[in-house]
């Protein structure tokens, strides 16, 4: 729960930084409708670009992995385009990041994937808006804002997960070296937090 609250605060700060507003939300809803109509083509394009990620080449030959990745990418896009950019969005992103980490995607992969999502959404917008340069520019700005918000939250959640894994590994090592049980360590931690000393 603490991770979600931290990510919500970070999201709120990021919304202020990019000047996210109701008009941006309306544009994203319009983009969501376009994505819904072209879902398979957009996700297929994303998957075809993932082959260029060095460690993904072998994985993309596995049909089961490709099916799971397809569902995760759909989930990513749905969360991005149907988001209210509030606490429920952050909760959804926590689950999505756990699924991405389960696919063994590193933070660098996720950042690159965010850029690929940006490019695919922009291509979709250009296709729908034709030669209307003003509308294309406005939609690009909104796509940039939403991807920025999304990546701030996703990267923060990923970093928190990574930090928790490191803390757990360090604690496990400490417990194995000292011979302390986990319950003894937790009790000592509680006593220290309460200000008790020997």
Q: Please tell me the distance from the alpha carbon of residue 181 to that of residue 8, in angstroms, as a whole number.
A: 35
- pLDDT tens digit sequence for 66-90: 888 889 899 889 888 887 888 888 8
The helix (run of H) or strand (run of E) holding residue 94 is helix 87-102
Give the angle 154-101-6 at the CA atoms, nearest 5°. 35
Position 179 in a domain: no
Q: Is the pTM of this model over 0.85?
A: no
Position 137 in a domain: yes
Q: State which residues form the domain around 48.
A: 2-165
Mean pLDDT score of the chain, rounded to an integer? Answer: 85
Position 191 in a domain: no
- Given CA atoms 70, 35, 105, 161 in this order, what sign does their dihedral have? negative
- pLDDT tens digit sequence for 22-76: 999 999 999 999 998 989 999 988 888 877 776 777 777 788 888 888 898 998 8
Position 115 in a domain: yes
User: Any idea what the CATH number is for the domain that residue 144 is in?
Assistant: 1.10.490.10
Position 99 in a domain: yes
Q: How many domains, the chain?
A: 1
Position 180 in a domain: no
Position 29 in a domain: yes
Average pLDDT over residues 147-160: 89
Q: What separation, in Å, do the N-terminal and C-terminal C-alpha atoms of the chain show?
A: 32
CB 46 within 8 A of CB 189: no
Whether residue 140 is predicted with pLDDT greater than 90 in this model: the reply is yes
Position 40 in a domain: yes
């Amino acid at each position: 729960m603490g991770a979600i609250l931290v990510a919500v605060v970070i999201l709120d700060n990021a919304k202020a930084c990019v000047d996210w507003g109701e008009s941006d939300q309306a544009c994203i809803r319009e983009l969501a409708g376009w994505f819904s109509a072209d879902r398979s083509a957009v996700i297929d394009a994303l998957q075809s670009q993932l082959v260029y990620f060095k460690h993904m080449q072998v994985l993309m030959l596995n049909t089961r992995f490709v099916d799971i990745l397809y569902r995760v990418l759909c989930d990513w896009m749905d969360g991005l385009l149907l988001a209210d950019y509030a606490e429920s969005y952050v909760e959804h992103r926590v689950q999505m990041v756990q699924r991405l980490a389960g696919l063994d995607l590193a933070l660098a992969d996720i950042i690159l994937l965010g850029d690929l999502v940006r490019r695919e959404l922009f291509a979709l917008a250009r296709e729908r808006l034709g030669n209307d340069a003003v509308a294309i520019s406005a939609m690009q700005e909104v796509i940039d804002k939403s991807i920025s918000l999304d990546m701030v939250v996703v990267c923060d959640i990923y970093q928190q997960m990574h930090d928790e894994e490191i803390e757990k590994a360090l604690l496990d090592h400490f417990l194995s070296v000292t011979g302390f049980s986990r319950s003894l360590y937790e009790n000592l931690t509680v006593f220290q937090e309460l200000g008790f000393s020997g």
